[in-house]
Structure 1
Amino acid sequence: MAQWTRRRFLLAGAATAGALVVGWGALPPRQRLHATEPLRFGGDAVALNGWVVLAPDNTVTVVVPRAEMGQGIHTALPMLVAEELDMPLARVAIAAAPPDKIYANLAALRDALPFHPDDTGTAQAFARWTLAKVARELGISLTGGSSSVKDAWLPMREAGAAARGMLVAAAARAWGMAPSTIRTDNGELFHDASGRRATYGSFAAAAALESPGDVVLKEPRAFRLIGRDVPRREGRAKVDGAARFGIDARPPGMVYAALRMAPTLGGTLAGINPAGVLDMPGVLSVIDISNAANGAFGGQTGAQAGVAVVAKTFWQAKVAAEALAVRWHPGPHADLSGEAILGALRGALDGEGHHEYFSRGDVDAARAHDSGEVPGHVIRAEYSVPFLAHAAMEPVNCTAQVADGKVRLWLSTQAPSIVIGIAASVGGVAREQVELHEYLLGGGFGRRLEGDMVAQAVAVARECHGLPVQVIWTREQDIRHDVYRPAAVARLAAMLDAAGTIKSWEFTGAGGALTGQFTLRNLGVPAAGPDRTTIEGAYDMQYEIPHQRIAHAAVDSAVPLGNWRSVGHSYNAFFKESFIDEMAHAAGKDPVAFRAAMLLAYPRHAAVLAMAVRAAGTPPAGRAHGVALHQSFGTIVAQVAEVSVRDGAIRVHRVVCAVDCGLAVNPGHIAQQMESAVAFGLSAALGGAITIEGGAVQQSNFGDYPVLRMGQVPVVETVIVLSTEPPEGVGEPGVPPVAPAVANAVFRLTGQRLRSLPLRLA
């Protein structure tokens, strides 16, 4: 049984205290079916609820509150409505969600509580329930945490089923029939006994006046659309160039802005001399944007000190910005180095006061009372990972206009409600006076959860006399001024008993806590309590070990930190799964069998591991298989990496992924996300590292911050476990197991245990 530490109890109490006082937490959550303001569409289309709009021509528009950044969400979410509505997907269009609280992402916030998966008691359930209610009231709409389908699974299906019920009621009233005698199929209503039939569209106006009655959702065995491979609706547009990303925005009269930003972390502007630059071709103005955050969250939007050059074309603006004479104050971190950062992390591990996230049994007592039958079998190791940039293919950009008392944004974003707030603050208008035009994302990975580019663009637009202005970062700026995945160090110690089974397990990590930085930058409030992202994937592992202690030391970071695809799981899985392999080797056991023996109480995990190993088969001569198993965002993934080493270079030829993500809404999307995650994770495992010297990021482009080339991407095979459990996350869970699976294969080939990323052979 998991033990609750005092602080974990206080966390649950903080989420529920107010509810206990007033009884609010015991009330049912507020509805997510109807928006505050009715949806308004042109022509004779009518809104049947806050998610579904029906037109007389029998086309349906579904409101999609999440960003499409390559994960297929513009296809998966309409599938949920179309399934319950009995509507062909080909007749379903999509529209971006307006700023209403029913579209808030409840799952992303609810799942942020630092509970172990075994924590299923009343207090934990009530804390999750209450935090979901809080999320509904806050109304924060964001795409992150692999939560889009998970969050929409019930409300969007209920919206489709409710709309179907309203149509049946309208037809029953018009035909004088009992609703139970009317069936629906393929966007039509049928009364078989009389031979009557009609399209949904012919009853659109009448249905809007009806009640849906008792909404009953389909059982999974009745699904005809969910569970099928459906091509992504934006796929063709991406192939033929018709797809529109944020950088493609072209409002009339638009001008461009290129930036110069402080080269050091925390650097500030000392002075500029625009002489000569203002006379360059196309240049319109030079604007100090160091005050871009003024009036917004006390200067905490994350917008970095700098200067913008506005011109008629981006090239003109870029050339002029590079020629601009700028002086900088280096700021308080001018002497910061990677060596100093690593030293601070190790110093934190040497210190005291680590926050204990999970404990079971008594690690100290287990060691103290060891019989000594297997002397020397306490294994210790230290692992480390560097900072990482996002390096999305579409560079950071934002187009903004400040005119007529309004702020207009043209933007690719993962967090519309957040950027609206930042734009309102910087632009000096009410939130209701911000218009957001959303576009496809050319990669997100957590970078577009931020609003720094919005603060910059609005600050520039304020000085452009009503002209829309597009701010574009160069690739070098994208790498050097990112919000980075934290660097981290972990020390692990475990003891084997006489049978070669892990008896005790201790995991202590150190690194920056990103949530506090993120909430202050983007919401204007500091985070309360410990940050679960620092230790996720370590404190909530499923291996059955009788004595465990998992703790973390949060270290203040001068390097700006942000969410990066799979966040803390991306490094804690590397630490955990690599060390599990070390223990298997020390015990003289096969690493797969060693893991399976600790999963007797977790049959789903054991099944996923077995499926991956079975599908991988036997490696060819000269190659080895490495295994890793990890659960993140509710999804269990086992990976087997097939690796060779030649002339000191690590080559990954094939990766087999077995996935249990609950019910697979669109299996093709899941396979695509595993392929994407493997490429993303391998880029970091084999080459990704952001280093700091003299207070500045040293990397600048793909030459020194490499991502996998097409010829380096391995064959990725995905095996999906059939399930009727509710869907879990898919976008991120394929990333964490990649690095340890490769490292474990390298050990089998070379005998070298690589304990730091990126992986480098001695």
Structure 2
Amino acid sequence: MGRVKTIARRTFLIGSVAIAGGVAFGLWRYKTPYANPLLADLPEGAAALTPYVRITADTITLITPRADKGQGAVSVQAALIAEELDVSLDQIATDFGPPSPAYYNTALAGDAVPFRATNDSWLAETVRDLADAPMKFLGMQITGGSTTVPDGYDKLRHAGAVARETLKATAARLHGVERSALSTETGAVILPDGTRLSYQSLASEAAQTDPITDVTLRDPSEWRLLGKPMQRIDIVPKSTGTQGYGIDIDLPEMLHAAIRLNPGQGAALIGYDASEAEAMRGVQKIVEIPGGIAVIADNTWRAIRAAEAITCDWAAAPYPADMADHWQALADSFTSDAQDSQFRDEGDVEAALAGGAEIEVEYRAPYLAHAPLEPLNATVRYTPERIDIWTGTQVPRFIETNVARITGIDRDHIHVHAEMIGGSFGHRLEDDVVRHATHIAMEMPGRPVKLTYSREEDMAHDFPRQIAMARGRGRVENGRVTAYDLGIAMPSVLSSQMGRQNIPAPGPDLQIVAGAWDQPFAIPDYRVTGYRAPELAPISSWRSVGASSNGFFHDCLLDELIHAAGADPLQERLRLCNHAPSRAVLEAVGEMSNWGSAMAPGAGRGVAYCLSFGVPCAQVVEVSDTGDGIRLDKVYVAADVGRIIDPVNFDGLVKGGVIFGLGHAMNCQVTYADGAAEQRNFDQYQGMRLYQCPEIEVRGLETADKIRGIGEPPVPPAPAALANAIFAATGTRLREMPFDKHVTFA
């Protein structure tokens, strides 16, 4: 009944909106699937049974369109298809597939509407359904927001089941039996007499069979792969150094390029002197590109060295030159004129705080670089008739659009070959490297040109995590938190990021308050306000986006109020929490860490919680104050994603997220001087060192009623848990990241 109601609601609303908006085809278009993109270049004798399954006489290829940047996206997508297709992972090949609206992300809409993830009311679910329509109409093929599993959980299993049943229908037609009399096992259809027909042997005939779309998905109790420990498809190549990435592309007659861009992001090149570079060995050509200059040479090293030898005259950055002015812009944004949202305003905060606040504090979070190990790169081969692009990307269709705009070539003649990504953290949501590479390749028609950023250019021209400031106050009574007021000021991530794609970001930016306004606590007087600061340095999505800073702001203010009340940090969070899965993860970390047990002198234990991307995540950090500084001893983490698809990868992603969150909180920041980022390499942006890494214990819960992703949710609570632990150990409150401004780490 629930599913019937969902379909009816979605049909009614999308149809109503389409009619009201004058789009007569809206409902029909929403219900109509996109054409199968695999059919365009299908070899003779091959079958593309769905957009996700291609079978030839010798290979079963599963299409995994979500980008893999180290998080295991290829393996989890392949497993979702393989579970229903009835193949093992060692029987298949994988391919990212061509960019296509058929691969639009069905899970993006969930976090794009102003309803808390814990709100499953009819209205909230209706608006989420409605928000999916523009995602489909625009063909938003994007990897991000921890959506790979939520996006694929149903549709990839369905794709596998359709392919399986279509192969059975093919075998039934060829052998004169009923499809219901057939079964499948490890890549073969089994006839009633036990004869095995491999999927590959059925490929050419299956291509002539109408797909069987009325399928039933297997119950989890029948799963062979999902929910069980799996070895990722890429574990052997990555362990042996044989995994290929975009930076490894090597084509006949390939040239290499490097760039120098204005250190002031978005500012122009006024003039340059390239006489020294032109005389350097291997240099083929020097060309101007938007915002800078490029060197084309016979290898990457020579191109980079020549680019460094060019003397450039740069225009001034279009944002404040120095950090003091960036912080001042945030401080000036706490005004009613700059208010962007106030989705959380319960009780009467003003009346509750009229007599004064027990706590009134300010928190700060700096710009942060993405700094993945693989620097930005893209290889482009341009001719007036066709363009081929090899790169790691999370936004392949944006690339098509922008290359078409630059070259004037129809996007049907632009071919994006997505590659494995050596880390991203949001970096590959941008496509500036492809735009630059396209301008360069147009100077060398017919020859592939690989553009590789030097590490310094990569970090100097990153679009970093947003800078943010928060101001909080509150009251306590009778040992309880009774009033909570948090204001957060930051520039709009969505306006900055989508502006570079010429896509307007309408309405309030939910990322300004993400991880703060939507927390499941029942505080009598409770308000969270977002303030939109003016555009400063250009920014982009960084692992967990707004919640990456807001998890620190929100939980640390709560922790300060709990201590002011004299309450136990874990027990008061549990008392306030009104969401069962969130209570469960708090109880779990309490049990895991033996919360309340005695600790050695100089040791401290801190708890923190944040719900982000629909996932409740709680952490306890234990530290010791040693003669050499603060030592991180152990971290306990509990999170609930509804269903864990691969326990091994789940454990790895949680631990990686914790390390990412802790390391950046400890000592990372991007600062600007004279309009330029000062941190240009890993020696200036270290993160956590190996010897500093604590033991991390993970527990995954499966009580929530929706399937969620885990790549980002472990990040937001980590800085808060560390700050709260340091307070417990030393009595020092840390309200500004990075923490090494105020404490030393052992």
Shared fold per TM-score greater than 0.5: yes
Of 473, 478, 494, which aligns to 1:515? 494
Partner residue in 2 for 1:611: 588
C-alpha distance in 2 between matches for 1:467 and 1:14? 47
Cα offset, 1:732, TM superposition: 0.7
Q: CA deviation at 1:38?
A: 1.8
Correspondence 1:167 to 2:144: no
Are residues 1:138 and 2:147 paired? no
Q: Structure 1 residues 364 and 598, CA, compared in 2 at 3 Å: closer, same or farther?
A: closer
Encode CA deviations 1:685-724: one digit per residue, 9 max, x unaligned. Answer: 0011111222222212122211222222222221111358
Task: Please state how far the C-alpha of 1:185 moved relative to its aligned partner.
Answer: 2.5
Partner of 1:539: 517
Cα distance in structure 2, aligned partners of 1:213 and 1:443 = 37
Aligned residue in 1 for 2:259: 259
Q: For residues 144-176 of structure 1, give each alpha carbon's deviation from its aligned partner in whole angstroms, at most 9, with x where no partner exists.
A: 111111111111111111112212323333444
Q: Alignment partner of 2:684: what SS?
A: coil
- Distance, in Å, in 1 between the alignment partners of 2:704 and 2:721 is 29
Pairing partner for 1:679 from 659, 678, 689:
659
Equivalent residue for 2:90?
90
> Is the 1:34–1:49 Cα contact (8 Å) retained in structure 2?
no
Aligned to 2:331: 346
Residues 404 and 410, structure 2, Cα contact 8 Å, conserved in 1: yes
Out of 283, 307, 316, the position equivalent to 1:321 is 307
Residue number in structure 1 paired with 2:722: 742
Q: 1:361 to 1:348 in 2, by over 3 A?
A: same
Q: C-alpha separation between the residues in 1 aligned to 2:424 and 2:599?
A: 37
2:314 equivalent to 1:361: no
CA distance change for structure 1 residues 15 and 351 in 2, over 3 Å: closer, same or farther?
A: farther
Residue type of the alignment partner of 1:246: G
Q: CA deviation at 1:548?
A: 2.1
Q: Distance in 1 between matches of 2:674 and 2:307?
A: 23
CA-based RMSD: 2.4
| Separation in structure 2 between the aligned mates of residue 64 and residue 626 of structure 1, nearest angstrom | 40
> In the alignment, residue 513 of structure 1 is paired with which amino acid?
S
One-letter amino acid of the counterpart of residue 38, structure 1: L
Mapped pair 1:639 → 2:619: yes
The yes-or-no answer on 1:394 pairing with 2:379 is no
C-alpha distance after superposition, 1:95-145 (max 9, x if no partner): 122222110112124422222235444443332212212111111211111
Contact residue 15 and residue 127 of structure 1 kept, 8 A: no
2-structure distance, mates of 1:392, 1:757: 20
| Aligned-residue offset at 1:48 | 1.2
TM-score by length of 2: 0.92
Residue in structure 2 matching 1:506, options 465, 485, 495: 485
Distance 1:714 1:19, change over 3 A: farther
- What is the CA–CA distance in structure 2 between the aligned matches of 1:626 and 1:16, rounded to whole Å? 50
Partner of 2:54: 53
Which aligned pairs between 1:415-430 and structure 2 lie closer than 5 A? Answer: 415-430=395-410
TM-score, normalisation: structure 1: 0.90
- Aligned partner of 1:318: which letter? I
**How many angstroms apart in 2 are the aligned matches of 1:152 and 1:39?**
23
Distance 1:16 1:640, change over 3 A: farther
Shift of 1:648: 6.5
- SS across alignment from 2:312: strand
Aligned partner of residue 659 in structure 1, secondary structure: strand
Q: Partner residue of 1:243? A: 243
Q: Structure 2 vs 1, CA of residues 693 and 276 (structure 1 numbering), >3 Å: closer, same or farther? A: closer
Q: Assess, with a 3 A threshold, how the Cα gap between structure 1 residues 598 and 16 changes in structure 2: closer, same or farther.
A: farther
Query: Percentage identity across aligned positions?
Result: 33
Question: Residue deviations 1:337-391, cap 9 Å, x none?
Answer: 11111111111115544133313433246417x8xxxx86642221110111101
CA shift, 1:230, in A, is: 0.9
Q: Distance in 1 between matches of 2:473 and 2:332?
A: 18
Structure 2 equivalent of residue 552 of structure 1: 530
1:588-607, aligned counterparts within 5 Å? 588-599=566-577, 601-607=578-584
Separation in 2 of the partners of 1:315 and 1:199?
49
Contact 1:32 1:103 in 2 (8 A): no
1:542-573 Cα distance to aligned partner (Å, 9 max, x none): 11123222111111223010010000010100
Alpha carbons of structure 1 residues 286 and 174: separation in structure 2 relative to 1, 3 Å: closer
Query: Would the aligned equivalents of 2:118 and 2:614 in 1 still touch at CA under 8 Å?
Result: no
Distance 1:624 1:161, change over 3 A: same
Question: Are the counterparts in 2 of residues 68 and 74 from structure 1 also a CA contact under 8 Å?
Answer: yes
Alignment of 1:649-688 (within 5 A): 649-688=629-668
1:440 corresponds to 2:388: no
1:508 is displaced (CA, Å) by: 0.9
User: Hey, what's the Cα distance between the residues in 1 that align with 2:567 and 2:18?
Assistant: 51
Residue-by-residue CA offset, 1:202-248 (whole Å, 9 max, x unaligned): 33334341441521111222222110111111121112121111111
State the match for 2:124 in structure 1.
Answer: 124
Q: Deviations over 1:471-502 (max 9, x none)?
A: 2212122222110111101111222233x222
Deviation at 1:649, TM superposition (A): 2.7
- The verdict on how the C-alpha distance between 1:377 and 1:71 changes in structure 2, with shifts beyond 3 A counting, is same
Q: 1: distance between equivalents of 2:705 and 2:120?
A: 17
**Helix, strand or coil: the match of 2:688?**
coil
Cα distance in 2 between the residues matched to 1:213 and 1:136: 20
Task: Confirm or deny: 8 A CA contact 2:475 2:483 kept in the other structure.
Answer: yes
- The change in CA–CA distance for 1:489 and 1:309 in structure 2 (over 3 A counts) is same
Shift of 1:429: 1.1
Letter in 2 for 1:549: R
1:412 equivalent among 392, 395, 400: 392
Q: Quick check: 1:150–1:729 contact (8 Å CA) kept in 2?
A: yes
Mapped contact 2:62–2:94 kept (Cα < 8 A): yes
Offset of 1:43 from its aligned partner?
5.8
Residue matched to 2:504: 526
1:380 matched to 2:374? The reply is: no
Per the TM alignment, residue 671 of structure 1 is displaced from its structure 2 partner at its CA by: 0.7
Structure 1 portions without partners, runs of 5+: 1-12, 291-304
8 A contact 2:491–2:532 mirrored in 1: yes
Quickly say closer, same or farther: Cα 1:626–1:158, change in 2 above 3 A: same
User: Which stretch of structure 1 is more off in the superposition, 508-517 or 197-206?
Assistant: 197-206
Shift of 1:734: 1.1
5+ residue gaps, structure 2: 1-12
Q: Does 1:476 align with 2:456?
A: yes
Q: How far apart are residue 470 of structure 1 and its match?
A: 1.6
Report the secondary structure of 2:334's partner residue. Answer: helix
Q: Which SS does the other structure have where 1:703 is aligned?
A: helix
Q: Does the 8 Å contact 1:33/1:155 carry over to 2?
A: no
After superposition, residues 110-259 of structure 1 pair within 5 angstroms as 110-191=110-191, 194-208=193-207, 209-212=209-212, 214-259=214-259
Write out aligned runs for 1:711-730 (5 A): 711-723=691-703, 725-730=705-710
Cα gap change, 1:28 to 1:279, in 2 (>3 Å): closer
Question: Relative to structure 1, is the Cα distance of residues 24 and 605 closer, same or farther in structure 2, using a 3 angstrom cutoff?
Answer: farther
Distance 1:549 1:84, change over 3 A: same
Structure 2 residue identity aligned to 1:130 = L
Tell me what 1:279 maps to.
279
1-side partners of 2:152 and 2:33: how far apart? 10
CA–CA separation in structure 2 for the residues paired with 1:198 and 1:246 = 38
Letter in 1 for 2:48: A
Letter in 2 for 1:572: N
The number of equivalent residue pairs is 725
* Alignment partner of 1:562 is 2:548: no
Distance 2:54 2:516 in 1: 44
In structure 2, the residue corresponding to 1:643 is in which secondary structure? strand
CA contact (8 A) 1:363 1:506 kept: no
